[in-house]
Amino acid sequence: MNIPILKNLSEVADDYDLFIIDLWGVLHNGIIAYPDAIECLNHLRKRKNSQVILLSNAARLSPSIAAHLAKIGIEEYMYDKLLTSGDVTANIMSSRAREQNNPIEPRYFHIGPERAQPTLNACGGQEVALKDAELIICTGFFQEEAEQVEDYTGLLKSALALNLPMICANPDMIINRGGRIIPCPGTIAALYEKLGGTVERFGKPDPAIYNCVFAQHTQISRSRSVMIGDSLSTDIRGARQAGIDSIWIGGGIHAKDLMMKPDGQLEPDKVQEVAKHAGESPRAIMPKLNW
């Protein structure tokens, strides 16, 4: 396995027509957008045949994410479509309810912040206390800035005693928010599985979220498509499972593992080591997204 280190996306851009781009760690850090990444989006928009899809594991619906992106300088004209795992979760949950044709809405217990309420509404069903629930929908931590996943052990053991399945609307394990590592819903899902619970995840790396993209872009082959993301376990693995190329952004959540220098320098041997440990082989790596 030999993973080339690119300086600019323009080195390989002519090989692709569809650019599927992650948000956190690639376009922004949750607080500010990266200027070089915005410039890259603008270059892609100028290319005649390029399509740009932003693909996020956020548990919120895309209109909410689009509004946040606009506030930090990533305007809607810079991309063709935005799709979130919250969108996919709501679509799948609501379609299952229609297929079952059950007049009684499913009862769920919600683990996550209030801002996920629009996603829950779109899923359908009724939010209830844990003892009355049929399933759990996890969209995040109640207070992600103040809690650790271990704080949920007691709650999850109670859910396990009730044999409740969990729907995880964001498979991410961590994000880097303004330089701080914040745990994500995926850590709660992983703990529930470790305790013996059943979990269904919607979002990267599951191929279903990529299938949603290609269902709307049937004119573009997967061989002309590339995923650009910073997470080996979600972005890069998801691309492999979807049968498309990937470009790994080293300055995201793996920057410390890669021992990336402040000037963006990457050591080839370290790149191979970290990727091999994850069992992934992206087409190339870049320190950051730039043109």
The per-residue pLDDT for 216 is: 85
Please give the structure tokens belonging to residue 94. 């609501």
pLDDT tens string 19-76: 999 999 999 999 999 999 999 999 999 998 899 999 999 999 999 999 999 999 999 9
**At 204, is the secondary structure helix, strand, or coil?**
coil
The per-residue pLDDT for 177 is: 81
Q: Hey, how many other C-beta atoms are within 10 angstroms of the C-beta on 92?
A: 16
The per-residue pLDDT for 28 is: 96
Q: Is 68 part of any domain?
A: no
| Overall average pLDDT of the 95-121 stretch | 83
> Amino acid letter at 136?
I
The band of 178, judged by pLDDT with boundaries at 50, 70 and 90, is: confident
Give the C-alpha separation, 209 to 88, whole Å.
7
> What residues are paired with 286 via a beta bridge?
249
Please give the structure tokens belonging to residue 184. 């994500």
- Highest mean pLDDT among 101-105, 121-125, 133-137 belongs to 133-137
Looking at the structure, do residues 173 and 213 belong to the same domain, yes or no?
no
Q: Is 86 part of any domain?
A: no
- Mean pLDDT of all residues in the chain? 94
pLDDT tens string 247-273: 999 999 999 999 999 889 999 999 999
Q: Is 168 part of any domain?
A: yes
Q: Is it the case that residue 156 has pLDDT exceeding 60?
A: yes
Q: Is it the case that residue 105 has pLDDT exceeding 90?
A: no
The band of 180, judged by pLDDT with boundaries at 50, 70 and 90, is: confident
Q: Is 93 part of any domain?
A: no
Half-sphere exposure of 131 (CA within 13 A, CB side): 0
pLDDT tens string 209-223: 999 999 988 889 999
Give the position of tokens 């799948």: 92
Total domain count, the chain: 2
| Residue 134's CATH number | 3.40.50.1000
Please give the structure tokens belonging to residue 139. 């969209």
Domain boundary among 201, 234, 261: 201
Q: Is 240 part of any domain?
A: yes
| Overall average pLDDT of the 233-259 stretch | 96
| Overall average pLDDT of the 200-213 stretch | 93
Q: Give the residue numbers spanning the domain of 187.
A: 104-201
Looking at the structure, do residues 192 and 258 belong to the same domain, yes or no?
no
Looking at the structure, do residues 197 and 208 belong to the same domain, yes or no?
no
Looking at the structure, do residues 197 and 210 belong to the same domain, yes or no?
no
The per-residue pLDDT for 94 is: 84
Looking at the structure, do residues 228 and 280 belong to the same domain, yes or no?
yes
